[in-house]
């Protein structure tokens, strides 16, 4: 028997990445265990707004070895995404490897000192996943139901914690923050984690303010506006608009994405064609600029963003690279026209007893304020590791247009 068959692999997170990692670890004959703090597999798809749908077309959000069921719509609902991910895990024997309700509170590498690791040019010094076989990962895991803490040892660690576990909450000067407000303040993630019935109860007949114009801000605001109508309009407070496009009008994006993806594929798969490659690389920038400009003009013509002060400051390419491009919720601008949704641009705001005071001088009365103010993915990643120096290795410098990857691979 190959010695690799005995290798123990820890995977943190049972979202799409962790499930795929586990399937491949099983296929290689390793012994994987997935730890997830949640109550079921599927990652973010286990806890979303009732209205959340896949915003990537299903064909682009698909495991290469596991097609969607026949007849699946182009933008499946969150329930369908969850069912798809669970079916994948079941088919490949991944479900048996998952320990749910198990939060990894510390991962520590034993077998090499900080000095030795810093001197490595490649992992383990030789670039092999398991090095010389002497290193081990020690995991401290909190089992949420029992509250017990248990230690585990593994030969390899795969971190698939996603980007959405640690929320970003704005800070305020004394007496200007949520403490002076008489209503309820919560983060959009807490709202989306609520049972649908409880979430509906929380906002019913209330003056809701949503802060933030990212995908979750717009989805949350649209959901509240649909629920309460123009009698209790929802107010969306935002600093800058993002590119949010109508799913019925995605041709520009598709053309732009398909063209750049095809060119990138050519560059990867035909590296011997040096001249063609460098020519393509030179062509890529102006081509992307051209596609971006044409696409932006098209969307500005077809989506009433100008009329509503929602034209983004950045280009659509910058949005795409920074993962800030999203699909507009259904009927978003209809809700504005009907008076169920009010859009308010401002640079900053503070709380008062009965709502918010915007830096424009406007006061917005509120019963519930939902902060769709984003996440801190670096903090989530760092929180997994015990040693400060390992934390520094895993979280590189952040950038608006690049996802931080291990050792800044891009």
Task: Give the per-residue contact string, 326-365, with ligand FAD (x = CB under 6 A; - = no).
Answer: ----------------------------------------
Q: Write out the binding residues for ligand FAD, residues 232-271 only, by CB under 6 A.
A: none
Residue 66 near residue 91, CB atoms below 8 Å: yes
CA distance 226 to 220: 10
Contact call for residue 17 and ligand FAD (CB under 6 A): yes
User: Strand, coil or helix: what is 208?
Assistant: strand
Which of 7, 25, 33, 52: binder of ligand FAD (CB under 6 A)? 52
The pair of three-digit structure tokens given for residue 385, joined into one six-digit string: 């590791």
Which of 9, 32, 43, 210: binder of ligand FAD (CB under 6 A)? 43
In the bound state with ligand FAD, the residue whose beta carbon lies nearer, of 55 and 256, is 55
Greatest CA separation found in the chain?
A: 73
Contacts of 25 (CB under 8 A, 6+ apart): 9, 11, 32, 158
Contact call for residue 14 and ligand FAD (CB under 6 A): yes
Contact call for residue 217 and ligand FAD (CB under 6 A): no
Minimum distance from residue 74 beta carbon to ligand FAD (Å): 11
Minimum distance from residue 214 beta carbon to ligand FAD (Å): 10
In the bound state with ligand FAD, the residue whose beta carbon lies nearer, of 68 and 232, is 68
Q: Write out the binding residues for ligand FAD, residues 365-404 only, by CB under 6 A.
A: 384
CA distance 159 to 166: 15
Contacts of 212 (CB under 8 A, 6+ apart): 188, 237, 238, 371, 372, 373, 374
Q: Write out the binding residues for ligand FAD, residues 74-103 only, by CB under 6 A.
A: 103
Output DSSP code: residue 396.
Answer: -
> Which one of the spans 22-30, 32-40, 121-129, 255-263 is the region binding ligand FAD (CB under 6 A)?
32-40
Minimum distance from residue 197 beta carbon to ligand FAD (Å): 19
In the bound state with ligand FAD, the residue whose beta carbon lies nearer, of 104 and 157, is 104
Contacts of 115 (CB under 8 A, 6+ apart): none
Minimum distance from residue 38 beta carbon to ligand FAD (Å): 4
Phi and psi at residue 69, to the nearest 5°: -60, 145
In the bound state with ligand FAD, the residue whose beta carbon lies nearer, of 124 and 216, is 216
Contact call for residue 18 and ligand FAD (CB under 6 A): yes
Of how many residues is the chain composed?
410
Residue 168 near residue 375, CB atoms below 8 Å: yes
Output DSSP code: residue 53.
Answer: B
To 10 degrees, what angle do helices 196-203 and 215-228 make? 70
CA distance 221 to 332: 9
CA distance 127 to 139: 22
Contact call for residue 15 and ligand FAD (CB under 6 A): yes
CA distance 236 to 13: 33
> Which one of the spans 35-43, 93-101, 283-291, 402-410 is the region binding ligand FAD (CB under 6 A)?
35-43
> Which one of the spans 11-19, 308-316, 333-341, 393-401 is the region binding ligand FAD (CB under 6 A)?
11-19
Residue 311 near residue 390, CB atoms below 8 Å: no
In the bound state with ligand FAD, the residue whose beta carbon lies nearer, of 48 and 235, is 48
> Which one of the spans 53-61, 354-362, 385-393, 394-402 is the region binding ligand FAD (CB under 6 A)?
53-61
Q: Write out the binding residues for ligand FAD, residues 116-175 only, by CB under 6 A.
A: 160-165
Binding site for ligand FAD (CB under 6 A): 12-18, 35-38, 43-45, 48, 52, 54-56, 61, 103-104, 160-165, 384
């Amino acid at each position: 028997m190959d010695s690799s068959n005995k290798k123990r692999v820890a995977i943190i997170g049972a979202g799409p990445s962790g499930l795929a990692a586990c399937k491949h670890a099983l296929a290689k004959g390793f012994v994987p265990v997935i730890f997830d703090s949640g109550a079921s597999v599927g990652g973010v798809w286990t806890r979303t707004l009732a209205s959340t749908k896949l915003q990537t077309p299903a064909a682009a959000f698909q495991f290469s070895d596991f097609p969607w069921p026949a007849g699946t719509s182009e933008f499946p609902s969150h329930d369908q995404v969850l069912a798809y991910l669970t079916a994948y895990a079941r088919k490949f024997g991944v479900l048996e490897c998952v320990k749910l309700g198990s939060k990894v509170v510390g991962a520590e590498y034993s077998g090499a000192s900080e000095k030795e690791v810093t001197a490595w040019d490649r992992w383990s010094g030789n670039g092999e996943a398991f090095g010389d076989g002497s290193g081990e990962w020690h995991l401290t895991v909190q089992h949420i139901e029992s509250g017990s803490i248990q230690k585990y040892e593994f030969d390899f660690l795969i971190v698939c914690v996603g980007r959405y576990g640690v929320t970003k909450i704005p800070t305020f000067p004394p007496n200007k923050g949520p403490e002076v407000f008489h209503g309820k303040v919560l983060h959009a993630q807490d709202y989306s984690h609520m049972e649908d019935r409880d979430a509906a109860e929380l906002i019913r007949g209330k003056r809701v303010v949503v802060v933030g114009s990212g995908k979750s801000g717009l989805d949350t605001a649209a959901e509240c506006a649909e629920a309460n109508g123009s009698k209790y309009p929802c107010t969306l407070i935002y600093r800058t608009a993002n590119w949010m496009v109508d799913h019925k009008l995605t041709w520009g994006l598709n053309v732009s994405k398909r063209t750049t993806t095809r060119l990138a594929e050519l560059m990867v798969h035909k590296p011997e064609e040096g001249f063609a490659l460098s020519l393509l690389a030179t062509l890529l920038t102006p081509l992307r600029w051209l596609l971006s400009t044409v696409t932006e003009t098209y969307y500005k013509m077809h989506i009433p963003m100008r009329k509503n002060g929602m034209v983004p400051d950045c280009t659509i390419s910058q949005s795409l690279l920074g993962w800030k491009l999203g699909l507009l919720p259904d009927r978003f601008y209809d809700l504005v026209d009907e008076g169920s949704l009010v859009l308010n641009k401002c640079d900053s705001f503070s709380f008062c007893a009965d709502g918010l005071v915007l830096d424009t001088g406007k006061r917005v009365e509120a019963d519930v304020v939902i902060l769709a103010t984003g996440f801190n993915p670096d903090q989530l990643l760092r929180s997994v590791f015990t040693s400060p120096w390992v934390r520094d290795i895993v979280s590189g410098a952040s950038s608006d247009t690049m996802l931080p990857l291990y050792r800044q691979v891009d």
